[in-house]
Chains A and B, each alone.
Chain A
Amino acid sequence: MAFVFLLEQVLNGLLVGAYYLLIALGLSLIFSLGGIVNLSHGAFYAIGAYLAVTLTPRLGFAGAFVASPLLVALLGVVIERLFFRRFYRSDPILSLLLTFGLAMIIEQSLRMIFGAAPLPFSIPSALRGQVFLGNFIYPRYRLIIFGVALAAVIATWLLVYRTAFGRVVRAGVQNPDMVGALGISLQPYMTAVAALGIGLAGLAGVLLAPISGVHPAMGAEILTAAFVVVVIGGLGSFWGVIAAAALVGVVRGLTIYFFPPAGEASMYLLMALVLLLRPRGLLGERIQKFE
């Protein structure tokens, strides 16, 4: 019997992995392709959630699901043009400070506009309910999150590894000067990367708003976990982030099964262990700029 319960926790952990993947994917993209340590990633996640709450009464949840990530991505374009652009080649500590400040400004703005109390928001009634596989239980909404996360991963992978756009961006990571010498301006590409990464944070915000509290500090709440996933996966590694998200989900689930107080600490222990054995993370690449 205990084995069945463990198996259920493992499968649920994979589902929770989709949750971690959604919050980490955009962070990893901007980190790997732009070299920006985006501490404001969680704040954009919060903006996505607040947009979902604001837009759903007007557009319905489906409308908000499409519109919110696009609006957050648009905000990403502005942020890249105004700020990120100045920091691609400078000391990473500068972009770290910039995005830290940005995160505080956004969190405080949300508090001033919407108040500190959590805003009510639920899963739309059409998406409620559970699916039973044998005796295992899966909320339909989590399965939808899993599907969307999968789709986001595949779309992002195709874009970065199977299109001309992706080739330029990846070349830019390795050798921006050479790309420039070939007559290609990297700037519009980097704007697109930032918009994509920040838009993904918005997408995570919309999807998770129905199952977690929508309050100003919600971004700060998930930021650390997102970083842990990216670090475990390895800088610059697309598949690493996916493996890390699944691993964190499963390890956390099993830890809670045996010793609940260490539930959240388990991901940090996992990170320490991975870094001890593989300092570049699970599937990290060697990137000249960061050596």
Chain B
Amino acid sequence: MAHSDDLTRRTLLKGAASATALVGLGMPAIVKAQSDVIRIGHLTPITGFLGPLGEFAQMGVKLAAEEINAAGGVLGRKIELVIEDSVNPQTASAKAERLIERDKVAMIIGEISSASALAIGQVAYRTKTVFINTGANSDALRGASCNPFMFHIEAANSMMVTAVGTYLKNENMIKGKKWYSLTADYAFGHDLFRVAKKFVTENGGEFIGEDLVPTDATDFSPYLLKIRQAQPDIVASNLAGNQITNFIKQYAEYGLQFPITGFGFDTAVAWGAGKGNFSGIWPLIWHHMVDTPSSKKFVDAFTKKYGKPPENQSWGDYNSLKIVAQSFTEMKSADPQKLAEHLRKGAKFDVLKSREGYFRAYDNQMVQEMYAVRAKDSDKMKDQWDIYDPLGTVPGPNEDLEVLAPPKDGTCKMQA
């Protein structure tokens, strides 16, 4: 409670005066300084429409820190997390600077919003501190905005599209089919729709409707009527966060039968939809049914600690911290400067999948396997977490992992 005096009446007044919308006040969770620890910064939104995912991110990174410290820490030093709510790009940038300059963190993990990730990435580049992005999907972060200190364990939008697209092709859902898409009306949605549309049209599909949906829309009924009037073969979601929950619920409410798919997805939003509402084929970077020994161990430890299975967002933050710990051990040094070099050299990491992943030097994107899942019938679900069946892994066992990675189109020019 050392910081409870941050929440004075004055803070509340300031907040009230400046805000027309409600913004939660985050309390920084800073543990007392010790010299024999390695401090790691964690920044992610835990309020707002990405908040549900941010909570899973924090759970993942905390579990990783616990496991690392229980095993004796890194180079004989304990890991100490400094966890903050990143709120929005401005705040994310300011907090990243403070973490690096005041709290002297060795590196930063986190983020979900592509706009905030860009802001943190710029601070990372300026201060030569590694930042591992665990949840922001925009391809631009790996393209024009790339820099040698920003790494991405999270998939780019184009990877999500290719992963689910492979299965849609197998199911004959693209060629000659009429598509209707709903897209979140902000940077992430626009970027996702651009790559999705390219993929669908290149494979012989056609868009007969493409509506943008404001992020504050809670009622989808006018969109659902338009979809019903258009009679598409496939309905595609490029929505984000809580939007997907509302959309799935109301799609079921209106009883529309056109098959659904989506290019961006997080398990938490479907867990939150409730029985009998979730349908369709969706891409995931990881899910709790991935059948590898390390994945099962993670799921067991997580479920034991938090009483529910880990979500894909927890996977990213958990693995990022494990990767950093492993790298420091291999380097025999916690030198933040050398960390970037080490990661860029193509070191391989167990990311709970059947093949190891690595950051490729071209754009610092982690090249790795991905998955697609299909919603289960509600009468076949064992419990509230059991909502989909795995469709399989992309790329296949004999394919090069890089087929999934964004094309090396030259937009990323790494500066030294």
Contacts and interface: CB of A to CB of B under 8 A. Distances in A.
Contact of B217 (A214, A257, A263): A263
Interface in A198-231: 210-217, 219-225
A242 to B, nearest CB: 18
A220 B274 contact: no
Contacts of A130: 254-255
Interface stretch (B199-207, B245-253, B322-330): B245-253
A79 to B, nearest CB: 17
Contacts of B216: 221, 224, 264
A19 interface: yes
A183 interface: no
Contacts of B20: 224
A256 B222 contact: yes
Interface string B263-287: 0000011011111110000000000
B218 A221 contact: yes
A104 B25 contact: yes
A261 B214 contact: yes
A141 interface: yes
B46 A213 contact: no
Contact of A97 (B16, B21, B223, B226): B16
Contact of B253 (A111, A123, A220, A260): A123
A136 to B, nearest CB: 9
A127 to B, nearest CB: 10
Contacts of A257: 222, 226
A137 B56 CA distance: 38
A137 B271 contact: no
Contact of B214 (A9, A97, A117, A263): A263
A125 to B, nearest CB: 7
Q: Which of A104, A210, A212, A260 has the most CB of B within 10 A?
A: A260
B172 to A, nearest CB: 28
A212 B47 contact: no
B157 interface: no
A78 interface: no
A246 interface: no
B48 interface: yes
Contact of B52 (A12, A128, A215): A215
A119 B22 contact: no
Given A19-B219, A118-B268, A257-B226, A141 B22 contact: no
B16 A16 contact: no
Interface in B207-258: 211-214, 216-219, 221-223, 225-226, 228-229, 242, 245-246, 249-250, 252-255
A103 interface: yes
A104 B276 CA distance: 33
Nearest to B272: A118
Nearest to A2: B229
Interface residues of A, number: 60
A139 B253 contact: yes
Contacts of A273: none
Contacts of A253: 221-222, 225
B250 to A, nearest CB: 6
Contacts of B274: 120-122, 210
A217 B219 contact: no
A118 B213 contact: no
B1 interface: no
Given A120-B274, A120-B275, A101 B16 contact: yes
Contact of B273 (A120, A137, A264): A120
Nearest to A125: B276
Interface string B172-214: 0000000000000100000000000000000000000001111
B105 to A, nearest CB: 24
B384 interface: yes
A83 interface: no
A265 interface: yes
B55 A107 contact: no
Contact of A12 (B48, B218, B225, B276): B225
A5 interface: yes
A225 B25 CA distance: 23
Contact of B221 (A16, A100, A222): A16
Nearest to B278: A120
Contact of A216 (B21, B51, B56, B212): B51
A201 B49 CA distance: 21
B55 A256 contact: no
A113 B42 CA distance: 23
Given A215-B272, A256-B226, A117 B253 contact: no
Nearest to B16: A100
Given A125-B276, A210-B249, A212-B246, A261 B22 contact: no
Nearest to A115: B55
Contact of B249 (A116, A122, A222): A122
A225 B21 CA distance: 11
A110 to B, nearest CB: 11
B316 interface: no
Given A101-B16, A130-B254, A217-B47, A212 B213 contact: no
A191 interface: no
Nearest to B25: A104
Nearest to A255: B222
A224 B225 CA distance: 25
Contacts of B222: 9, 12-13, 16, 252-253, 256-257, 263
Q: Give the top 5 A-B pairs by smallest Cβ distance, nearest first.
A: A118-B272, A122-B274, A213-B245, A256-B222, A120-B274
12 contacts: A5-B229, A97-B16, A100-B22, A111-B24, A111-B51, A118-B269, A125-B276, A137-B225, A213-B273, A217-B22, A217-B49, A263-B214
